[in-house]
Amino acid sequence: MGLSFTSLEFCIFLGTCLALARSLRKVSAQTWLLVIFSYIFYLSFGALGVLVVTLSAVAVFHIGRQLGSLSDPDIRNRWLWAGIAVNVGPLAFFKYSAFILDNVASVLQPVGVRFTFTHHPVFAIVGLSYFSFSGMSYILDVYYEKIDPTQSISEYVCYLVFFPKLVAGPIVRAGELLPQLRKGLQFNAQDFEAGCAYLLVGAIKKLVIADQLTGHVSMILASPQQYSSFTLVQGLLGYTVQIYADFSGYSDMAIGCARLMGIRLPQNFLMPYSSVNVAEFWRRWHVTMSSWFRDYVFLPLEIGGRGTRNANVRIARNMIITMLLCGLWHGAGWNFVLWGGLHGVALAVYQWYAGRRQRRLQQAAGSTFRFGTLAARLLTLSVVMIGWILFGTSTLASAFTYLWRILTWAKDGIALGSPYILPLTAVVFIAHLLINKDRNLIEELGSYSVPTRTLTYACLLLILTTLVPSEAVPFVYVHF
């Protein structure tokens, strides 16, 4: 469904967009061209999403201008809530209405109140969570006077629907993208090379790693009761690698598409499986989303709760609330809520522990191969992988069955041997262990000598062309 970054059709689409954009000199013309191509791209996923994003864009643009021109606090507050409603309303209706009605029906049924409804009353809209959060951050940043509202509707619409980041992020804020759009698209050899490198690495992560794992991993996650515990462990390892390679591959390709135009999108993955604690994991996993929840949910909760006597209790409560909302953002299901709650509790426990063992934690983070560092990484990865069971299975019952069969080491069931899971897991985990997690090798590649770069690109192309599977799989996070 829709144009995929890994398809030939998208390559033609992107090439046409770049060629036309390069022929234009006026910034306004370039902006409108990006809007047109973004709408073409989004139309491939369905017309309803185009209608919703357009109505939202027009409404938020005018609300932003009102917020920028008014000084009366009460009136500005009303416009703020209107802006939040415009962004949250479609999200609540299209994504959560069935989930809410299901749970209301379950609560009322024991007291004799029954009602029926169509289980899926609305259509799913691709990218709804992402452009809703982009619009909300714009309204909040204008309200708190972090940015000035744009006076150009084409500029705002382009910010909202810019096709590289539209359906699965990164979640780019207006203060990052609007200044670049105002300067116009920049085309130079360095950005073009970096963009191609991001696209190449992202394609390898997606096609060579994630898509090779999808078949066996999906079967194991779908029916955990049918497989032996060893097979379930393989499935968990495979899903841990698959979701990272798939989503970070998408982010790399989105960054690469924008970079070809001279536009820099923020990094979204910073070697997350090398983290030594769960707080660091969330500074490295889906960075733009975790920073969004930090700035627009956690910090306002902290500011609003400053009068709480026990600071540790306040911080723990706000972390758990933030992560519960983060889990719900990922999907309308209790498995996602519990996944968020697990990470919220883990963050709260770490926060409490860090306040008492600061020196030991600094020592553990100081060396890659210290026993304490390796143990901290293993503990963090264990928490993350338990969370992935909740994230990857379709229901809470399946998740609990999956976890229980591993804990009891069930030997009955199918023993599935996958030729991909363990080798690809080893490759990804070793890379996280050995590569400096604060380096960006793609960005550094441009500073190497021409022979080194040529050999590197040739090797990457060889890997891509020889190991790509016969059929591509849709990106995982497109569904969120």
Task: Point out the residues that are catalytic.
Answer: 330
Phi, psi of 415 (to 5 degrees): -100, 100
Dist. CA 400–CA 270, nearest whole Å: 30
Sign of CA dihedral 176, 177, 181, 182: negative
Dist. CA 239–CA 278, nearest whole Å: 19
Q: Are 141 and 174 spatial neighbours (Cβ–Cβ below 8 Å)?
A: yes
| Residue 429 burial (10 A CB sphere; 0-12, 13-18, 19+) | middle
- Maximum CA extent, the chain: 75
Query: Can you give the length of the chain in residues?
Result: 480
Q: How far is CA 290 from the centre of its chain?
A: 9
Question: Which amino acid type is present at position 467?
Answer: L
Q: Are 365 and 329 spatial neighbours (Cβ–Cβ below 8 Å)?
A: no
Supply angle C-alpha 9, 11, 17, rounded to 5.
Answer: 105
What is the C-alpha end-to-end distance of the chain, expressed in Å? 14
CB neighbourhood size of 169 (10 A): 27
DSSP tally for the chain: helices H, then strands E: 21, 0
Peptide bond into 170 cis (omega under 30): yes
Dist. CA 150–CA 144, nearest whole Å: 15
Q: What single string gives the DSSP state of each residue in 422-452?
A: HHHHHHHHHHHHHS-TT--HHHHHTTS-HHH
Which is nearest to 185 in space by CA: 27, 299, 393?
A: 27
60, two tokens: 């938020």
